[in-house]
Chain A
Amino acid sequence: MTPTRHEFRAGAQAGLPFILVIAPFGAVFGVVATEAGLDLAQVMGFSFLVIAGAAQFVALQMMVENAPVLIVLAASLAVNLRMAMYSAALAPHLGSLSFARRALVAYVLVDQTFAAASLRYEQTPPRTPTQKMAYFLGVAAPVVPVWYLATWAGAVLGSAVPPGLPIDFAVPITFLALIMPMLRSAAHVVAALVSIIGVLLFAFLPYNLGLLVAALLAMVAGAETERRMAAR
């Protein structure tokens, strides 16, 4: 097997457990969006064009409240501003690929693919940009199609999902599982703590902007800790 294929397979393997999260999350979106009054094409339009559960739910929630179109867009796009941070973090790894390839990676840039890839990219031995792309697309391979399928199933099959199950919590569990292995230096721990404290302190800001403020502070805290530890 070529190293590129090997990376794709390793990525797909890393992506498989995310199905556990993506499937219920997508199905719930399908159910809730259909109950809110969207037709099947609109529900699927969301999941094909946006592929971002949190932002889709924010948009839906505000649509149920009949907010003006521009306000719905501003609030749900604010939730996705973190994607620009992910994009910047990937640029040093994937920036030398052709524009078409970067454009493809951008389409499947979601929390899960980013987190799994950033874990992989810091491991040795260093991989080529093509191998890194293969890993990224490998993680996306099970995740993104299941997102479409689950949304469709939720929209069509309706509320066959038993009510009251804590499936919303599948999201924090996967992210915890991804974050814990990243905390391998004091600087990473400091960044995570600042992120947690920051998001609680800035929870009063509208449109989820508190998360962005907390994330920026956490990045500075992590980088500054790294610089001071290296200087010592």
Chain B
Amino acid sequence: MSYDAWHIWAIILGLGAGTYLLRLSFLGLIGSRPLPPWVLRHLRYTAVAVMPGLITPLILFPQATGGAPDPVRLGAALATIAISLWTRNVTLTIFGGATVLFGLHFALN
């Protein structure tokens, strides 16, 4: 890394300010003005539209293995889905998934 301290702080402050403005954007501007029903209908799907796409590459092509599919991570992902369907409890699913992840890691490595 060959930046001046000034450049590094420009990146930190720029990314911080930009990210905060993105977070505040609609929340700050729209306020309590009612949105049209078709907009609300789209917004209802924000979470299920972003999160699966966010994690799909992490599951299929993990950076830690240089992008090669990894039986430990794939197995843990499948187990997490199964535990979620079985327990219907977010906390148990996270702990169960983590247990399977480390269990497979130590069993296979």
Contacts and interface: CB of A to CB of B under 8 A. Distances in A.
A73 B80 contact: no
A40 interface: no
A228 to B, nearest CB: 12
B29 to A, nearest CB: 8
B25 to A, nearest CB: 5
Contacts of B18: 73, 77, 80
Interface in A76-95: 76-77, 80-92, 94-95
Given A66-B1, A188-B48, A106 B28 contact: yes
B15 A174 contact: no
A94 B43 CA distance: 14
Contacts of B58: 168-169, 171-172
B19 A80 contact: yes
B47 A211 contact: no
A82 B94 contact: no
B16 to A, nearest CB: 3
A134 B95 CA distance: 25
Contact of A170 (B22, B42, B43, B98): B98
Given A20-B95, A59-B15, A102-B24, A115 B47 contact: yes
Interface in A114-142: 114-116, 118-119
Contact of B40 (A83, A92, A199): A92
Contacts of B60: 200
B11 to A, nearest CB: 5
21 contacts: A20-B95, A46-B12, A52-B19, A80-B19, A80-B22, A86-B46, A92-B43, A95-B27, A106-B27, A109-B27, A166-B76, A173-B98, A173-B101, A179-B52, A180-B81, A195-B49, A195-B51, A195-B52, A199-B53, A218-B48, A218-B53
The list of the 10 closest CB pairs from A to B, nearest first, reads A49-B16, A222-B45, A218-B49, A199-B53, A177-B93, A96-B32, A180-B84, A88-B26, A173-B97, A89-B46
Given A176-B77, A188-B45, 15 more contacts: A14-B90, A49-B15, A83-B25, A85-B50, A106-B28, A107-B20, A107-B23, A169-B73, A172-B59, A177-B93, A181-B84, A192-B52, A200-B57, A210-B53, A211-B54
